């Protein structure tokens, strides 16, 4: 599937900003299953200084600085992306085998440890024994956890914000894609399995009359390391899907804090209002397969992806 992606994030400030420095994770990531044909990010006002770099996880991050007065700021991505199918492995090792191997996996082991937004004091109410049945194949663990979160938690954009701890999400059983990804990651890490937070976008199309959730803004899902032979398997607990051609990957890290689309330090500004608009549409050569769609959403300040 080939897509055209547009993502615009805009801030309106109550007071003028005299100095701003932003870190932007908006560029889609080049991976074995995703080809970035073109991508550009523009800012308004135009930055005085710009640097393009890679972060610790290999994500492309853009640094922008503005040192003149402004009362609004907007940053916009335009991209063309070709997303390839990700075949599901026919077999996979037991989850215990993967957890044992993760201890000596140099690159993956950092995703075993709790992070700021995946730390939980309790997993009360989580069916750990049901999810991690003895010798269950690790891919089946992902499918079971995926379905459990989808069936147990209610999708509610008003229940949480970016600062809501996952213990509160677990007790309230409500949230959005960011929350569900954090819950899944915490559960997998508690069992010793490497799990990472993946940010991106999801296509909107109708399946049995229902729209996929999370298609009106940035989306989030989970990557699970399934051992050296398989590598990473991505799954989307918000929609109970294994990730394939409908998901566009932007970045991954330990949790949302590592890959937030726009993060900044400001001098001035005061209170502010955030709006975000996302458009994902197939290019002409792909449109016939799932049909065109255009989505746009406005988000209040402190609303999260998904």
Q: Token match 């335009």: residue?
A: 78
Q: Is residue 124 part of a domain?
A: yes
Structure tokens given for 36: 């970035």
Cβ atoms 295, 6 nearer than 8 A: no
Do 102 and 77 fall within a single domain?
no
Question: pTM of the entire structure?
Answer: 0.90
Same domain, 248 and 151: yes
pLDDT (average), residues 92-110: 96
Asked whether residue 60 carries a pLDDT value surpassing 80, the answer given is yes
Of the candidates 63, 85, 86, 87, the residue with the CA atom closest to the CA atom of residue 75: 63
Q: For residue 297, is pLDDT > 50?
A: no
Q: Which domain holds residue 154?
A: 95-257
Percentage of residues in the chain having pLDDT higher than 90 = 79
Report the distance separating Cα 82 and Cα 244, nearest Å. Answer: 12
**Does residue 306 form part of some domain?**
no
- Total of domains in the chain: 2
Cα–Cα separations (whole angstroms), residue 306 to 3, 46, 92, 161, 292: 19, 28, 30, 11, 20
With cut-offs at 50, 70 and 90, classify the pLDDT of residue 217.
low
CB atoms within 10 A of CB 176: 27
Task: Tell me the pLDDT band of 185, cut-offs 50, 70 and 90.
Answer: very high
pLDDT, average across residues 98-108: 96
Residue 196 sits in the same domain as residue 102: yes
Q: Is 174 a domain residue?
A: yes
Is pLDDT above 90 for 122? no
- Kindly indicate the confidence band of residue 212, based on its pLDDT and cuts at 50, 70 and 90: low
Domain contains 31: yes
Residues 151 and 50 in one domain: no
Q: What is the pLDDT of residues 245-270, one digit of tens each?
A: 999 999 999 999 999 999 999 999 99
- What's residue 121's pLDDT? 84
CB atoms under 10 Å from CB of 222, counted, come to: 30
Give residue 214's pLDDT.
Answer: 52
Are both 102 and 229 inside the same structural domain? yes
Domain co-membership, 102 together with 121: yes
Query: pLDDT band for position 208 (50/70/90)?
Result: very low
- Please indicate, yes or no, whether residues 171 and 73 belong to a single structural domain of this protein: no
Residue 111 shares a structural domain with residue 246 = yes
Q: Confidence band (pLDDT; 50, 70, 90) for 172? A: very high
Instruction: Indicate whether 78 and 117 sit together in one domain.
Output: no
- Is omega for the bond preceding 45 within 30 degrees of 0, making it cis? yes
- pLDDT at residue number 284: 73
Q: How far is CA 84 from CA 36, 158, 232, in A?
A: 11, 34, 15
The CATH number of the domain holding residue 182 is 3.10.620.30
CB 41 within 8 A of CB 62: yes
Question: Does residue 58 sit in the same domain as residue 189?
Answer: no
Give dist(CA 88, CA 101) in Å, integer.
21
What's the pLDDT tens digit per position in 9-54?
999 999 999 999 999 999 999 999 999 999 999 999 999 999 999 9
The pLDDT score that the predictor gives to residue 211 is: 58
What CATH number should be reported for the domain holding residue 265?
Answer: 2.60.40.2250
Closest C-alpha among 76, 51, 70 to residue 261: 76
- Quick check: is 238 in a domain? yes
Does a structural domain hold residue 27? yes
Asked if pLDDT for residue 79 goes beyond 50, the answer is: yes
**Residue 218: what pLDDT?**
86
Residue 283 in any domain: the answer is yes
Q: Are residues 120 and 247 part of one domain?
A: yes
- Catalogue the E-assigned strands of the chain: 2-24, 34-44, 49-54, 60-66, 70-83, 154-155, 174-175, 195-202, 206-207, 210-211, 219-225, 232-236, 241-242, 247-253, 262-268, 272-282
The predicted pLDDT at position 279 comes to 86
- End of a domain among 216, 242, 257? 257
Question: Do 109 and 224 reside in the same domain of the chain?
Answer: yes
- The pLDDT of 225-245, averaged and rounded, is 95
Residues 241 and 120: their CA atoms lie apart, in Å, by 25
């Amino acid at each position: 599937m080939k897509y055209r992606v547009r993502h615009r994030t805009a801030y309106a400030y109550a007071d003028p900003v005299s100095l701003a420095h932003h870190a932007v994770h908006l560029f889609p990531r080049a991976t074995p299953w995703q080809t970035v044909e073109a991508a550009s990010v523009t800012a308004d006002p135009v930055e005085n200084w710009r640097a393009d770099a890679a972060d610790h996880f290999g994500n492309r991050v853009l640094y922008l600085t503005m040192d003149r007065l402004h009362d609004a700021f907007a940053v916009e991505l335009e991209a063309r992306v070709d997303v390839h199918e990700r075949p599901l492995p026919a077999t996979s090792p037991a989850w215990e085998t993967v957890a044992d191997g993760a201890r000596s996996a140099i690159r993956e082991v950092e995703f075993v440890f709790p992070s700021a937004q995946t730390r939980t004091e309790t997993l009360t109410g989580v069916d750990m024994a049901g999810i991690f049945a003895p010798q269950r194949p690790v891919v089946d663990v992902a499918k079971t956890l995926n379905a459990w979160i989808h069936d147990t938690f209610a999708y509610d954009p008003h229940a949480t914000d970016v600062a809501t701890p996952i213990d509160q999400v677990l007790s309230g059983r409500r949230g959005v894609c960011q929350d569900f990804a954090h819950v899944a990651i915490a559960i997998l890490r508690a069992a010793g399995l490497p799990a990472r937070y993946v940010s991106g976008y999801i296509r909107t199309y109708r399946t049995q009359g229902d729209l996929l959730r999370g298609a009106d803004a940035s989306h989030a899902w989970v990557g699970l390391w399934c051992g050296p032979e398989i590598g990473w398997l991505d799954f989307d607990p918000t929609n109970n899907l294994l990730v394939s051609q409908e998901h566009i990957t932007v970045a991954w890290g330990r949790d949302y804090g590592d890959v937030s689309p726009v993060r900044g330090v400001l001098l001035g500004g005061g209170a502010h209002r955030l709006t975000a608009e996302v458009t994902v549409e197939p290019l002409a050569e792909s449109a016939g397969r799932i049909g065109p769609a255009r989505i746009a959403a406005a988000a209040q300040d402190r609303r999260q992806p998904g």
